[in-house]
Amino acid sequence: MYDGRRREKPRALTLIELLVAAVILGVVAALAIPRLSHAAPRDRAEELRHALAVVRTAIELYYDDHGAYPGAGLENAEEASDAFVIQLSADSAASHQENRPSRLGPYLAESMPSCPVADCAHASRVAVRCGAHELRGDPTLDAGWIYDPQTGHIIANSTQMDANGARFDQY
């Protein structure tokens, strides 16, 4: 039965409409991509600042409790590195100190955090530089962090720069 009304075909997009949509998407992408690419280094810088704050706070708390920095007094850099991680780590029995009535530590809630800007496979590893005058990033080390147990100073092992031109090992 014919009701006298004409059936309308579904309307399709024309080539001009598709081109206009493509141009609009291109303009939006051209504006968004540079902003997103600049955000990545800032995020890494913020991650580094956070990780350094956590580790530096743990080092200072350890110093307040023990009167020495973690790993201090050990001549061998490898032993000092292991001692540093063990003395601060939550998954270590070393946070129980002899001759103390109460348990001290752990100073880190988990294990040593990975360095977000390190250029190595072992970003959570700590390299110890005993008596170094100035700690600087060293690309030859397979470690994310460089630590001086005499001063308690720790830095990121990276010679890269942030978005403002500051080296990550100077944070």
Residue 28 lies in a domain: no
Is 18 inside any structural domain? no
What is d(CA 62, CA 154) in angstroms, rounded to the nearest whole number? 14
The whole-angstrom separation of Cα 160 and Cα 134 is 17
In a domain, 21, yes or no: no
Q: Structurally, how many domains does the chain consist of?
A: 1
Rounded to the nearest 5°, which phi and psi values hold at 40?
Answer: -60, -50
In-domain check, residue 153: yes
* pLDDT, tens digit (0-9, with 9 covering 90-100), for 17-33: 889 999 999 998 888 77
Let me know if residue 20 belongs to a domain: no
> Closest Cα partner for 94 from 66, 122, 124?
66
pLDDT higher than threshold 90 for residue 52: yes
Residues 81-135 have pLDDT tens digits of: 888 888 888 655 444 445 443 357 788 888 888 899 887 778 888 988 876 667 7
Domain that holds residue 57: 43-95+107-170
